[in-house]
Copies of this chain bind each other. A is one copy, B any other.
């Protein structure tokens, strides 16, 4: 049998372990030298591939340099936000497949979130329709944890660990003065509150800060919020709360929209800014107490020092599992995670495969029954769900400058 080549791309926003998924795909492909020839990377995803921007991993990251992917944030290959046309009759499809054929591609892996799974869906349907033998597999990633038909997604565990650790530190920092103060921590997540909920993991004991957790799954009422804060301030002079960037009122208006101008990104998503700042000003003016807001911002998805070792290992495994599945002939699938709980309560995660067509363009939010306190907290079920995902420290090698050593394209 003649060897075929592999190509892999990254798409959408980066996570702390999107390069661990890439490592899994590349190292597993290189290990199958009897079937796989070259391992190519698309630079800037499908968009860069259309401009013939590719690299060969044997040259780009030889030897142990490949290992460095596992602790390097960002997307090593570069990313894109490129939506393929809905109609499979569009001329971009034969163009893409002629480029695949020219490179003698047998297997294509795309690492990304919902929008990238949409790309996997369309390309695999086009391949089926035209009888192309190319196998196409989606490798999930998103800090939002909002993909359906999987227990969780690579990238979530590290982001959740970042949120939990950082909120725990912010609580200590905010508690130093004996003066009433409110700190609002704004956490990423447009429609799904998984990452904001991780703020609850920061509590050191029952009743500890953060006192409240507000998710986009519930309608946010500013008057109830102010009452919550007032109640908490009666018991404690330092109050810390976590809010999702996507909290909205009963009419569906994002809280941040009361404060700021908004635009839309290339997928038509609203671009949000500053519900934390808005609530900070509201608390200060209405309650007359010291208030501060902290937007955790991009470090949630790019902190190397707080990568969860569990998340990193799962991302590598999912990458490798996708390659094994594609070699067995699977296509149009996304690698999923299946959880099983042992009799001793231990958690085991196995990889599985799901039809990518039922995954793309759907969103998994937090179950309503996990949301407590009239929309101001999260239940113990969530804690049990999230804890196994944030475990373990990762060694990040330091260079002569005392800072983490990363790999990158120049």
Report A298 CB to chain B, min CB distance, Å: 5
B305 touches A165 (CB 8 A): yes
Binds B, one of A68-76, A123-131, A212-220, A370-378: A68-76
Report A40 CB to chain B, min CB distance, Å: 17
Digitize A366-410: 1 where CB-to-B-CB distance is under 8 Å, 0 elsewhere.
000000000000000000000100111100001001111010101
B170 touches A299 (CB 8 A): yes
Digitize A293-314: 1 where CB-to-B-CB distance is under 8 Å, 0 elsewhere.
0110111011111101000000
| A116 proximity list for chain B (CB < 8 A) | none
Interface size on A, residues (CB 8 A): 58
Q: Does A48 contact B (CB under 8 A)?
A: yes
Report A172 CB to chain B, min CB distance, Å: 3
- Once A47-B178, A202-B403, A295-B295 are accepted as A-B contacts, the answer to whether A302 and B78 lie under 8 Å apart by CB is no
A168 touches B201 (CB 8 A): no
Digitize A163-177: 1 where CB-to-B-CB distance is under 8 Å, 0 elsewhere.
011101110111111
Q: Tell me the complex Cα distance, A387–B403, Å.
A: 10
Task: Give residues 60-82 of A contacting B (CB, 8 Å).
Answer: 72-75, 78-81
Task: Give residues 295-344 of A contacting B (CB, 8 Å).
Answer: 295, 297-299, 301-306, 308
Copies per assembly: 2
Q: Tell me the complex Cα distance, A10–B205, Å.
A: 25
A204 touches B406 (CB 8 A): yes
B172 touches A302 (CB 8 A): yes
Q: Does A244 contact B (CB under 8 A)?
A: no
Q: Does A44 contact B (CB under 8 A)?
A: yes
Task: Give residues 65-101 of A contacting B (CB, 8 Å).
Answer: 72-75, 78-81
B408 touches A204 (CB 8 A): yes
| A113 proximity list for chain B (CB < 8 A) | none
Residue of B nearest to A53 (CB): B178
